[in-house]
Structure 1
């Protein structure tokens, strides 16, 4: 098996709100769209994101009413995590977990989109 791409599919109440959040603040571009559906991508190593409206009939019946809860969409940065937090804060994005450093050397902060999707930015501290 050879995987050629990665996609995260998120079931949300308001597809337009999440699409706007990811395209405005996180550099994603919409590639395809239909009623209750949006496919987003970036030109780098970030996974593609598919947004599906909760309740849509394209999902199996037992998945239709689920939300993207308990999921953390994590992006690892090679540098500049403090500047990224500053940029997002200046753009009015709610920083739901401010930048901190864990004892094992991971620096991270989190934001949350309008549908409750948690996005975490990670950078490994220099030794």
Structure 2
């Protein structure tokens, strides 16, 4: 809750400072234009989702990259719809994959990668043995 209040204070402060320099009409046009951009991004999100699914299917990105791209795109579009200059700047930066990945990696937990292969490594405790049987059926 405290982070939301800090964000709200900074958003209002920056919006008032920028609006006092550029004027009310330009501020209104920026708010309406960024809202239309956010709505346009949300309406075309299915294309972005299909491109990300193709990249995931061809193993160009992993599952974490897939979710990061989609979450950042949606969250950035929502910030563009909301009025305010700070939210618009963050929303535009979130549309770029690199910035979104950096932000999401900063606030997510780091889990060690799970090894799903069944090959043994050389440092595993494996005893190499040869089985010798005296039965004539094996000769």
TM over 0.5: no
**Normalising by the residue count of structure 2, what TM-score does the alignment of the two structures yield?**
0.23
**Normalising by the residue count of structure 1, what TM-score does the alignment of the two structures yield?**
0.25
Per residue, is there more helix in 1 or in 2? 2
